[in-house]
Amino acid sequence: MKNFLAAIALMTGIVSASQSKAEGEITALDTRQQSIITIAAFTASGDIDRLTPALNAGLDAGLTVNEVKEILVQMYAYAGFPRSLSAMFALMNTLEERKATGINDEIGKDAGPIPDNFDRDAYGARVRANLSGLDDIPPPAAWQEFSPIIDTFLKEHLFADIFVRDVLDHQQRELATIAALANMTGTAGQLRYHLGAAMNTGLSKAQMSDFVLVLGAQVGSQQAEDTASLLAEVLKARGQ
């Protein structure tokens, strides 16, 4: 495992051989961030047996109940309602079991109110442009012209209705997104985009390297290898 983790770090082009991290050494992502990764990844794959300990670890790390619920709600936009709902039932069971042992988890804040004049199309378009690293909203791409309705759903629902909820910030949401996409198949194009988007929310190269290491240590070696390869492409394109 030690050699594997060092190899993954090298694949990203972030650290030199002399700086390779020791096995399990995650220094740039805190325990809350690491838990967002595993919770989102196992929700997306529908692996409830692995999700349950990840939920416990996340709550132990200080994620509030509402923050965990928000991760699971967001996941339906990527993995569908069935897996999101199954994960929500797993969280309910986990909370009941923890309460039975005397653990009273912090509920945390609710989402703030949405303005009455909230323009979902404009907000969603702006969020997507920001995630893309653009100052201006670009003209429609070919796929948007081919299916305007899916573009509308993306803007008005995912990037507006969901992203406007302030229980999680946009950086946390992108961390959850790349974790989900990394543990799904057939999503390389979306994962490549969101790796860049995650960095556009402020995640550093070191944090992205740690993201890959968490995948390798907690999710799966193949997922980590595939993500490391895409991340290397993203970093090269960004001149990093």
pLDDT tens profile 158-215: 999 999 999 999 999 999 999 999 999 999 999 999 999 999 999 999 999 999 999 9
Question: CA angle, corner 66, sides to 61 and 72, nearest 5?
Answer: 90
Residue pair 12/228 in contact (Cβ under 8 Å)? The answer is yes
pLDDT of residue 115: 87
* Tens digit of each residue's pLDDT (9 = 90 or more) over 62-90: 999 999 999 999 999 999 999 999 999 99
Share of the chain above pLDDT 70, in %: 90
In the chain the domains, ranked by start, together with CATH numbers, are 2-10+27-112+170-198+205-237 (1.20.1290.10), 119-164 (no CATH)
SS (H, E, C) 21-53: CCCCCCCCCCHHHHHHHHHHHHHHHCCHHHHHH
Whole-number average pLDDT of the chain: 92
The letter for the amino acid at 13 is: G
Residue 20's CB is within 10 A of a number of other CB atoms, namely 16
Residue pair 65/106 in contact (Cβ under 8 Å)? The answer is yes
